[in-house]
Chain A
Amino acid sequence: MSVQLSIRNLTKRYKTGEGVTGISLDVKKGELVTLLGPSGCGKTTVLRSIGGFLEPDSGEIMIASKSVVKLPPEKRPTSMVFQGYNLWPHMSIYDNLAFGLKIRKTPKAEIKKAVEDALRLVRLPGVEKKFPSQLSGGQQQRIAVARSLLLKPEVLLLDEPFSALDAKLRHEMREELREIQTETGLTMVFVTHDQEEALSLSDRIIVMNQGNIEQIAAPQDIYDSPDTLFVAQFIGKMNFVEGVVEEDKLRVGGLVFPNTKRLAGSIVVAVRPEDVMIGPDSGEKDGLYGTIKQVMVLGHYAEVSVELDGYGPIRAFQPRDTVKELSLGQRVTVAFAKVIAYPNK
């Protein structure tokens, strides 16, 4: 597929020192890409630069092979959904939706049809005559999405559009957005600090930290093989245990793993809680030993905290049945099914 949005060496620094440096990324046509990162990482800066609300210090932004860097927001083929305050309270929903088309001097009958279609797409048919204050927060955001959709933008930009909504609604909106995306084939760039949202929604995730891109990959790959220690810490739950490289093998206590990344010296090993295995203390010298500190049943699985001898605390997800045999203070042996190693700073 062709590249719809291309950013080359985008740099924007604020006086405070925050901002982004040397951002380059490509978004294919019809792709939904998420910019994910903690607050202040620069994800919104990138999005606002694409939308034209920020002037980058340097760099190039191309949409459908045309440079848009010099264009004001109203001339760009993008449309943006903001976190809140999207709608104009003094206009009816119809006028809110029609505003952009009226500026484009679209014939009335066409506007009417476009508004109807857009409202049907966001599952709110028949609210044309209402005013924004008569709709709930979730409905208002849907109208905002509808307004962007009916302008048929080359790239749809979404700036944490669901973050002000409650968890259940956020979930629904996510699914709906995904459906709309499949239906319309729109290219979307989505900004969020919510990793669950990013993992469930995106074709690809761009993890950002302190103004730089840490990793660009599909959600599964981001979760399974985070490139950097930051991504490992940021995405999902993760345990970190210190280890060393000896004779080209990773060594954590009595456990040994192959050194695939060719690291040397002191290392940090990252283990997902679901990859931690707990067994009875066998009394053997090798292996990793610890004491059970806490067992919490969280629905269909349980979280077990173990204090490792000399390696600190570690969390493990266990099936609910197996934790019945575990008791507080019990000595156990711990093994890892899968690890990812990083050099220790």
Chain B
Amino acid sequence: MSWYFRAIGFRKIFEFLLLVAFVVFFVGPLLNLAVLAFSSKWNYPDLLPRQWSLQWWHFVLQEDDIAKSIGLSFLIAALVTVLSIVICIPAAYAFARIRFPLSRFFLFSFLLTHAFPKMGLYVSIAVLFYKLGLMNTLLGVVLVHMINVLMFMTWIPTAAFRNVHTAQEESARDVGATPFRVFRSITLPMAMPGILVASIFTFLNSLDEAQGTFLVGIPDFKTMPIVMYSIIADFPSSAGAVFSIILTAPTIILLLAAQRLVSADIMASGFQVK
């Protein structure tokens, strides 16, 4: 046996072990979750559930509160994505094309919301929202969600716009396109992969947001993650598993759909401060 390992080489063995560890840590919990979601009785020493059932799926999908939260979550995520595109894409274009004083400082400032403990930030925002009457409103929740995604939505499209060479825009002007036409037909389509990636992240991030929503949106705006908390607290773990799968599904579907676009390069280029 030992000759076999020697022939493979230490490096290969190490890589294999690393892969196994990755699979166990990453896929293991998901698998466990999937099994849990379809079980009705599963006690400790058993490897598999004693009884399979769909009862928790029925429960979760029939609960009015839950169905409403799914709808609300997707509505908020869509609103957040659209609004941040409207706000961040022009900003990203400005960062990429216009030289203005302190531009690097401003670009860097988007990191600030990620530099402090979120809860502290949300509490101070909540105080502000209270004065402005934004507590327990859709707009308030959407704004809180947008705080989290400003960085993605600005940095990644900025890098995408920077990758459009000035000569490519100039040659379009040269053949007769107005500046607006150049942006519509040349710059925007070329930067689209980066913008799409950022948008998908924004959408997913908003679906997943719980802390800020909890503080600003309670009691009327219960999104999926918020409902999740109460389900985990009030019902057996199988109900939580079912709900997690519902919560994870959009992520997996969107990432698979965008697989062609989500390359490490696009992400990485967004985080290079030039």
Contact = CB atoms under 8 A, between A and B. Distances in A.
Given A99-B185, A103-B181, A86 B176 contact: no
Given A86-B167, A103-B181, A80 B174 contact: yes
Contacts of B174: 51, 73-74, 78-80, 148
B175 A88 contact: no
B167 A82 contact: yes
Interface string A139-151: 0000010011001
B109 interface: no
B175 A151 contact: yes
A72 B173 contact: yes
A147 B189 contact: no
A104 B176 CA distance: 8
A135 B168 CA distance: 17
B186 interface: yes
A261 interface: no
A85 B168 contact: yes
B178 interface: yes
Interface residues of B, number: 19
B175 to A, nearest CB: 3
Interface string A36-53: 000000000000000111
B165 interface: yes
Contacts of A82: 167, 170-171
Contacts of A144: 171
Given A84-B167, A85-B168, A86-B167, A73 B189 contact: no
B190 interface: yes
B177 interface: yes
A7 B190 CA distance: 36
B172 interface: yes
A90 interface: yes
Contacts of B192: 90
Interface residue tally on A, bucketed by range: 20 to 34
B138 to A, nearest CB: 36
Contacts of B190: 88-90
Contacts of A84: 165, 167
A88 B190 CA distance: 8
Nearest to A151: B175
A24 interface: no
Given A85-B165, A90-B190, A74 B170 contact: no
Nearest to B190: A90
Given A90-B190, A99-B185, A74 B171 contact: no
B186 A88 contact: yes
A302 B186 CA distance: 53
Contacts of A181: none
B185 A86 contact: no
A74 B180 CA distance: 12
Contacts of A79: 174-175
A100 B168 contact: no
B19 to A, nearest CB: 33
Contacts of B176: 74, 100, 103-104, 151
Given A74-B177, A103-B177, A103-B181, A88 B167 contact: no
A99 B167 CA distance: 16
A142 to B, nearest CB: 14
A86 to B, nearest CB: 5
Interface string A64-76: 0000000011100
A90 B168 CA distance: 11
B95 to A, nearest CB: 20
Contacts of A148: 174-175
20 contacts: A53-B173, A73-B173, A74-B174, A80-B174, A82-B171, A84-B167, A85-B165, A85-B166, A85-B167, A86-B167, A86-B168, A86-B171, A87-B171, A88-B168, A103-B175, A103-B176, A103-B177, A104-B176, A144-B171, A147-B171
Q: Which 9 residue pairs spanning A and B have beta carbons closest together? A: A100-B175, A85-B165, A85-B167, A82-B167, A73-B173, A103-B176, A74-B176, A90-B189, A80-B174
